[in-house]
Amino acid sequence: MATRTLKTSILSLGRIHCHIYGVNVRNPLNRATYATALSINTSSQNKGFPDRGNRGPFNRRSRREAGDPRTDRMPVEQDWTAVYPTATPFRQGSVPLPVRMGFPVKKGVPPEKKGNLELIKIPNFLHLTPLAIKKHCEALKPFCTEWPSALDTGAKCDEHFPVKVESKDYVSAGTSLRNPSARIVHLRVSFCVNYDYAMYLLTVLYHESWKMEAWESEKTVADMEEYSWEDSPSQKNIMSTLVRMQVEGEGEAVREELLGRPEVQEYRDSVTRLKNEGESESSMHQYRDAVKKLLNL
């Protein structure tokens, strides 16, 4: 195995350089340590790996030593918005709180924040302190104008702005950040406003919808909203089966006659029902009866 130093953990013990073999060292700053298996720090014992310059498996030489966590140097009156200006994942070296999270294993406590993936996974609102929000508002103010003084009552607002769009945001604890009910947006229109204009709009839309564009003729079977039995594989199958069963001539007349039969109609209804409504026991039974009747079982 490639060797590597574990100077980071050693440094946090108060800058004592020593070679330790997995034993607990005296801890002047009363910080918990990990009992980790360390190994000798000599580059001459690079077993088996020819020198790859500075690109070795664990690039020991040019690796920068990690410094103290920022929490050591944080005064109480610091500017928190400088530490967390935007939404960022939890950084245990930047948050001076002794937070613990996770499931306590037997006779234990929730694990601490150092190296804690649970804290990193969840969303945090450390960037949204009241001070930060105040700063946001101050920054936005130059771009805003005053609220029109004439619109001081709700009735006046409705009169001038009859169309209202309402969207809702939710805050909840759950497995996902997103709440599906937040996707619903309400659009409200009050009718008393301009009836003529509304009618005009609807008429225009109605006539527009009848116009066929050139690209609409490229509609494929997959685009259809509803299943139509005519010209579907189902119709072709059943027609060819019936024609072969009949043994009497071929031709359009035979097909027409077959299509007109009540069993075929029933079959067509059951297939359409299956495809449009989806499957259920009852629609399957209907299909079954139709097929049995059709194929004379």
For the CB of residue 296, give the shortest distance to another protein in the complex, in Å: 8
For the CB of residue 294, give the shortest distance to another protein in the complex, in Å: 7
Q: Which is nearer to another protein, 118 or 263 (CB)?
A: 263
DSSP string, 84-153: SSS-----TTT--S--B-SPPPTT----BSTT-HHHHHS---TT--HHHHHHHHHHHGGG--PPPTT--S
For the CB of residue 216, give the shortest distance to another protein in the complex, in Å: 23
Q: Which is nearer to another protein, 184 or 222 (CB)?
A: 222
Secondary structure class of 160 (helix, strand, coil): helix
For the CB of residue 282, give the shortest distance to another protein in the complex, in Å: 11
Q: Which is nearer to another protein, 132 or 294 (CB)?
A: 294
Q: Which is nearer to another protein, 24 or 280 (CB)?
A: 280
The pair phi, psi for residue 166, each rounded to 5°, is: -110, 130
Q: Which is nearer to another protein, 167 or 228 (CB)?
A: 228
Rounded to whole angstroms, how far apart are CA atoms 95 and 126? 9
For the CB of residue 279, give the shortest distance to another protein in the complex, in Å: 4
Q: Confirm if 193 and 162 have CB atoms less than 8 A apart.
A: yes
Question: In this structure, how many other beta carbons lie within 10 angstroms of the beta carbon of residue 84?
Answer: 19
Q: Which is nearer to another protein, 193 or 243 (CB)?
A: 243
For the CB of residue 297, give the shortest distance to another protein in the complex, in Å: 6
Question: In this structure, how many other beta carbons lie within 10 angstroms of the beta carbon of residue 287?
Answer: 18
For the CB of residue 280, give the shortest distance to another protein in the complex, in Å: 8
Inter-CA distances, 114 with 31, 32, 99, 105, 111, Å: 11, 11, 9, 17, 8
Footprint of another protein (CB under 8 A): 232-234, 237-238, 241, 244-245, 267, 271, 274-275, 278-281, 284, 287-288, 291-292, 294-297
Question: What is the enclosing helix (H) or strand (E) of 210?
Answer: helix 195-210
Rounded to whole angstroms, how far apart are CA atoms 51 and 61? 12
Q: Confirm if 238 and 264 have CB atoms less than 8 A apart.
A: yes
Q: Which is nearer to another protein, 90 or 267 (CB)?
A: 267
